[in-house]
Amino acid sequence: MPMTRISLRRGKSAAYHAALMDGIYRAMRETFAVPEDDRFMMIHEHEAEGFAYGATYLGIARSDDLVIIQITCNDTRDAAQKTALYRRIADRLDRDPGLRPEDVFINLVEVKAENWSFGHGHAQYAVPHVPEPTA
């Protein structure tokens, strides 16, 4: 159910992009109990003039390799799970593709379960499930 948007400056390879997506997905599986194949991810590349960031905000020395990760997910996890996710993503991306933890910026956007439709115009997570009207 998470939807992940990954933003970075233009110029990284397809293998780098794949490592970002794989590392984030694995971290979500390990810490957020995301099911197998629940993978909806997008890479957004930006020219330098379209990618601004606070280079030292909160005392963190960021570089032009900064990756901004925004994960939209159900509002069901506690602070400990979120902290575990942030740490696991930073660790995984440090290992592959070699992204410094200082350059991993993560933002969670939490929504109600009924705010998702995965296809067919149905709200698959809505409780109770409202059947489609018959003709």
Q: Which of 2, 128, 131, 133 is catalytic?
A: 2
Active site residue 2: yes
Q: How far apart are CA 114 and CA 91, in angstroms?
A: 32
With a CB cutoff of 8 Å and minimum separation 6, the contacts of 34 are 1, 2, 25, 28
Strands (E), the chain: 3-9, 40-46, 67-74, 104-111
Question: Which residues are designated catalytic?
Answer: 2
